[in-house]
Amino acid sequence: MDILIYDIPDEGLKIDAGSGDDWLSGVLIDVLGGLVDKNSVSAQLNIMRYDDNIDLQGLVQYNTKSTCDRCLAKFDSHSNVDIHTVLIPVSDGRERLSAGEIEEIELSSEDLEFGYYEGDRFDLADVVREQVLLARPMKHLCKHDCKGLCQKCGKNLNEEICGCEEESTDPRWASLKGIKVTKN
């Protein structure tokens, strides 16, 4: 969804998107695959323009059907992704690079706090895609204290306790078990 920079009014641009908006559903399906419930997606975004700089704030919400990484149980989850990013136009030095002049550029920590756009527009879908991707959890857990599966018999330890005996030694040290040390 392209947003023209100079079409943003002084009071800002408000965008309310829902499950009927193909661009939002497409972004979430692109990032989350078939896990996202297309009927649950929504976004409320406010876009303000300050000269050539763009301030984008809002909230993206969606439901997913996931599989727990510890116990493999299916579960539903709701996600709220807060978005706040500032987009600034590409500087003259970066334009020279895109024109084919090879030059080494060192990014400062300030450069990493902004997003960039070229020309007179930016793609809102790209910004939302980036923020949702960055907000994805590393592990999908059905609950915070999920016990997972037994490593020997495979039973779900959240549902029942198995009769397997716990090993008192760490299996990573098992190869050292047969070593005998003699004293001189």
pLDDT in tens, 41-78: 999 999 999 888 899 999 999 998 989 999 999 999 99
Q: Using CA atoms, how far apart are residues 145 and 158, in angstroms rounded to an integer? A: 9
Give the tens place of pLDDT for each residue, 1-26.
888 888 888 898 999 988 888 888 88
Nearest to 57 by CA among 130, 137, 128: 128
What are the residues whose beta carbons fall under 8 Å from the beta carbon of 158, sequence distance 6 or more? 71, 73, 142, 143, 146, 147, 148
Token pair 């050292």: residue:
176
Neighbours of 4 (CB within 10 A): 10
Strands 74-89 and 121-123: unpaired
For the whole model, what pTM was predicted?
A: 0.72
Of the candidates 58, 76, 62, the one whose C-alpha atom is nearest the C-alpha of residue 19 is 62
Q: Nearest Cα to 76, choosing from 102, 103, 37, 108? A: 37
Give the number of other Cβ atoms within 10 Å of residue 122's Cβ. Answer: 22
Task: Decide: 1 and 25 in contact? Cβ < 8 Å.
Answer: no
The per-residue pLDDT for 100 is 58
Distance of CA 121 to the CA centre of its chain: 24
Cβ proximity of 54 and 48 under 8 Å = yes
